[in-house]
Amino acid sequence: MRKVLLSGFLLSLIVGLLTGCSSEVVKVTFADESKQIVLNTSKNTLAEALVEEGYKLEDLKNRYKPSFAWDKEIDGPLDVKLACKCEVRLQDGSNGIESYITTAATVGEFLEEEDVKLGELDELQIAADTKIEDQMVIVIDRLEKKTSEKIDKVPFKTVNKKDDSLEKGKKKTDKKGKEGQKIYEVTQLYKNGKPVEKDGKPVITEKLIKTIEPIDQIVKIGTKEKVVASTPASASASSPAGKKITVKTTWYTATGNQTATGTWPKKGTIAVDPNVIPLGTRLYVPGYGYGVAEDTGGAIKGNKIDLFFPTRSQGQSWNHNPTLTITILD
């Protein structure tokens, strides 16, 4: 009977000892060092287990935030993540460097945590999935495009047109010209508030968005010969030497036919009555000038002559008092 009691006591003692010395597997992952340790510990808390492994608890608490409380009792296998309470420095565009304490695991999580958003053109100088490390520097370059408008003037052309109603040597603007325009959209790239340069020059692009065509300027150029009319009195004072004869004058212009003497009519061709002034006779007509009797006409009878003008407008400017004293030169 005594042996049975002794055996029961020893068994209870052994079971108690085994129960008190049971160990648990604790996996600890350090977020900033990409390493994991496995502890087989019989300690009651995470803090005790890590101290048993040789870690300084105060340093761990200052640097990490655990996913399982330091002093919570371990009651089974455990997988713990130690998130780094890291100091991170952020340089965002042209802003100065600012320091942050974060437990985010990656750069992307940190930016989301601090509500830092990236634009379409912005450049993050480190991959978003990079793990956060203590004293890490994160740089963001802010890029933007600024647009403006540039206008290039397009000069107009001057078009000259002959006009036989305008006196020779004179000009008259019939229609004013107007400059055209080429309108460009100019885009310049800026990084952190400063112009981006390539090979020492700003990066600028130009896009033609509108063209306004110029309007030609029309200028009339006079071709009408100047005709100076004179009275018989003034004519006699300036006429050359020769036989004087008073005649009535009319005028005509091109008919498409040759003259009675076989020539083509031109300035200086005069139609006469051959019975009064023989064909081939050189004449001086005040206000008209020198000419030759080289044509005839059905209406030209007696003391009457017909003066040729190259254009109708020149003939129309002839003196309305057609009676003149002319000079027969030979």
Residue 134 counted as domain residue: yes
Per-residue pLDDT of the chain (330 residues; tens, 9 = 90+): 444 434 444 444 444 444 445 688 888 888 777 778 888 888 888 888 888 888 888 888 888 888 888 888 888 898 888 888 888 999 999 888 999 999 888 999 999 999 999 999 999 999 999 988 888 999 999 999 999 999 999 999 999 998 888 888 888 998 999 999 999 999 999 999 999 999 989 989 999 999 999 999 999 998 887 654 444 444 444 668 889 999 999 988 988 899 999 999 999 999 999 999 999 999 999 988 999 999 998 889 999 999 999 988 888 888 665 888 999 997
272 to 10, 53, 238, 253, 281: CA distances (angstroms): 170, 142, 23, 15, 10
Residue 2 counted as domain residue: no
- Parallel, antiparallel, or unpaired: how do β-strands 197-198 and 243-252 relate? unpaired
How many domains does the chain fold into?
A: 4
Tell whether 309 and 244 lie within a shared domain.
yes
- Asked which of 111, 141, 171 is the last residue of a domain, the reply is 141
Distance CA(59)–CA(52), nearest Å, equals: 14
Question: What residue numbers bound the domain in which 265 lies?
Answer: 226-328
Tell whether 242 and 295 lie within a shared domain.
yes
- Asked which of 174, 200, 222 is the last residue of a domain, the reply is 222
Where do we find the tokens 């300690």?
Answer: 43
Tell whether 218 and 243 lie within a shared domain.
no
Tell whether 80 and 94 lie within a shared domain.
no
> Taken in order 48, 52, 58, 64, is the CA torsion positive or negative?
negative
Residue 40: give its domain's CATH number.
3.10.20.90
Residue 316: give its domain's CATH number.
2.40.40.10
What pTM value is reported for the model? Answer: 0.49
Residue 179: give its domain's CATH number.
2.20.230.10
